Amino acid sequence: MATACKTSVAAAAAVLLLLIAVAVAPVSASNLTAYSVVGCTGNNITWGCGCYNFTGYKGGYFFNYTAGQVGLFYFNTGCRGLYIPVFFRVRYCWFHIFNSVKILC
């Protein structure tokens, strides 16, 4: 009886920890800063989860990859067609061929 009770308490605690982990995860989500002028200068904008066009911000990017949040770099706008998955931190400050990016969360 006592053992069964302890087991269910442990299980409940494990579930709780899991919920906390899920709730905390978005805080450290990958994000991407895009720049309007080549050399990673000019205006910048930072994006979190979702799909964004590079329109107006094609002067470089910094993709701050954090565990699990992969970035898909698309050749087309609107996150359509071919893409390259990026699962590492990358800073690129020159003209690039991508027109949109989707950060998966």
Ligand X SMILES: *[C@@H]1O[C@H](CO)[C@@H](O)[C@H](O)[C@H]1NC(C)=O
**Contacting positions for ligand X (CB under 6 A):** 27-29, 31, 33, 44, 46, 48, 51-53, 64, 66, 77-78
CA 42 to mean position of chain CA atoms: 23
Report which residue's Cβ sits closest to ligand X: 48
Q: Closer to ligand X by CB, 11 or 49: give it.
A: 49
Closest contact distance (angstroms) between CB of 69 and ligand X is: 9
Q: Closer to ligand X by CB, 14 or 25: give it.
A: 25
Nearest 5°: phi and psi at 13? Answer: -65, -40
Comparing C-alpha atoms, which of 69, 88, 3 is closest to residue 31?
A: 69
Closest contact distance (angstroms) between CB of 21 and ligand X is: 15
Burial class (CB in 10 A: 0-12, 13-18, 19+), 7: exposed
Closest contact distance (angstroms) between CB of 82 and ligand X is: 15
Closest contact distance (angstroms) between CB of 48 and ligand X is: 3
Q: Closer to ligand X by CB, 16 or 92: give it.
A: 92
Nearest 5°: phi and psi at 71? Answer: -110, 130
Task: Report d(CA 78, CA 82) in Å as an integer.
Answer: 11
